[in-house]
């Protein structure tokens, strides 16, 4: 039964872990909001997007806000403390698009962007790790040697796009125009921006509108840009996890097949050891069908006992894992569908690999079986 137990544990635990991780990622994607759309420009066709274009698009029927986003890693410093910081250059609309929550102060204003003001908004982790305390409004920090005044502190939010895909936990927002001056490889041409749909519109309508605008701008070349919504992210994640589930389930299935071979081997040994018993049963009237059912039932029972033990151990291990990772907001529970599949597969394994030993026992002639070993 050990092979069956290990196979069932591999199947149930691996698939349940993938399912739990998928659920966590989907919740994170959903928490980003359903009205946010990201756009990346790969080829501007000599007609680059400027801030004035985004301002113009915000006056359309289906688009509420639009904000550029440039990102890079820089060295943040305050007094003697320094570390690598993920810096984002954007405008005032970005806070509304991504629903950023302020702990203290304010976010970047339009006047900061227009006047190239050297101000910044940092997250809690930045304030605690580099400055040393959260109430740090008015403090001056250094980003790659340039001085910036802290005007706001954001609550740490692991569900935000910048937290999901940023290179570190310490985050700093500065005006987009200041970022252009600070970064040597960034121009005023916008290659990445975010938009949100209008209150009386839908994500699909906003996506269609911005797509039509970009098609008209880039000569109907849909390869010049890429548009991503939360639905796109969730769909991509579902496809990835489905493939992972199939692969891991296949590996676990191989383990169950190996366990089934072990069941078949032990049943063949059992048939050999009980040859005289088979002969006696046949001599007193047991039919071939009765002998076949007896040994086939034994093989299936062995598989099902192993399956039950494997499911119990899987449940125990998943509970332990859930306790260990509880601080990461991850929850792993036993997937009922996988349990049903495991039970059905174990029953199938018992029948398939028990059939040959049972048939071998059923085909024995009584006289040969009674003389076995003489």
Q: Mapping DSSP to helix (H, G, I), strand (E, B) and coil, where does residue 202 land? A: coil
d(CA 246, CA 278): 43
Q: Specify the DSSP element, H or E, that contains 288.
A: helix 288-324
Q: What's the rounded mean pLDDT across residues 122-146?
A: 90
Q: Which residues pair with 172 in a beta bridge?
A: 87, 122
Q: How far is CA 47 from CA 71, 179, 211, in A?
A: 22, 22, 16
Tokens standing for residue 275: 């040859």
Question: What predicted TM-score, i.e. pTM, was given to this entire model?
Answer: 0.60
- Distance CA(287)–CA(47), nearest Å, equals 87
Give residue limits of the domains in the chain: 2-27+234-370, 60-190
pLDDT in tens, 355-364: 888 888 888 7
Report how far residue 272's alpha carbon sits from residue 178's, in angstroms, rounded to the nearest whole number: 84
What rounded mean pLDDT belongs to the chain?
Answer: 83
**Token reading at 86:** 């993920």
CB atoms within 10 A of CB 346: 28
Q: Quick one: what percent of the chain has pLDDT higher than 70? A: 88
Residue 139: per-residue pLDDT: 92
Closest to 124 measured CA to CA, from 171, 77, 165: 171
In what helix (H) or strand (E) does residue 12 lie, and over which residues does it extend?
helix 2-31
Rounded Cα distance between 92 and 68, Å, is 10
Q: How far is CA 80 from the centre of its chain?
A: 38
């Amino acid at each position: 039964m050990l092979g069956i137990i290990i196979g069932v544990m591999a199947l149930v635990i691996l698939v349940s872990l993938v399912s739990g991780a998928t659920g966590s990622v989907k919740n994170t994607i959903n928490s980003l909001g359903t009205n946010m759309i990201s756009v990346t420009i790969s080829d501007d066709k000599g007609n680059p997007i400027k801030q004035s274009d985004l301002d113009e698009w915000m006056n359309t029927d289906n688009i509420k806000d639009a904000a550029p986003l440039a990102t890079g890693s820089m060295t943040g410093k305050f007094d003697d403390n320094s570390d690598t910081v993920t810096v984002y250059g954007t405008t005032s609309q970005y806070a509304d698009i991504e629903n950023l929550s302020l702990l203290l102060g304010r976010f970047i204003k339009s006047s900061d962007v227009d006047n190239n003001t050297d101000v910044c908004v940092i997250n809690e982790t930045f304030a605690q790790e580099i400055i040393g305390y959260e109430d740090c409004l008015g403090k001056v920090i250094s980003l790659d040697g340039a001085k910036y005044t802290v005007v706001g502190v954001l609550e740490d939010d692991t569900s935000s796009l910048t937290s999901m895909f940023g290179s570190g936990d310490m985050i700093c927002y500065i005006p987009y125009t200041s970022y252009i001056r600070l970064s040597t490889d960034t121009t005023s041409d916008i290659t990445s921006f975010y938009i949100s749909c209008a209150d009386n519109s839908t994500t699909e309508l906003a996506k269609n509108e911005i797509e039509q605008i970009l098609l008209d701008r880039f000569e109907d070349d849909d390869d010049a840009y890429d548009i991503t919504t939360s639905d796109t992210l969730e769909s991509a994640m579902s496809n990835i996890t489905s493939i992972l589930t199939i692969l891991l389930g296949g590996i676990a299935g191989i383990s169950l097949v190996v366990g089934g071979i072990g069941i078949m081997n032990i049943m063949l040994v059992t048939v050999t050891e009980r040859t005289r018993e088979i002969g006696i049963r046949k001599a007193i009237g047991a039919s071939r069908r009765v002998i076949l059912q007896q040994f086939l039932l034994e093989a299936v029972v062995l598989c099902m006992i192993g399956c039950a033990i494997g499911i119990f151990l899987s449940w125990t291990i998943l509970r332990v894992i859930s306790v260990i990772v509880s601080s990461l907001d991850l929850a792993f529970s036993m997937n009922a569908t996988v349990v049903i599949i495991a039970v059905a597969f174990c029953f199938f394994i018992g029948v398939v690999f028990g059939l040959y030993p049972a048939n071998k026992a059923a085909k024995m002639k009584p006289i040969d079986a009674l003389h076995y070993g003489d």
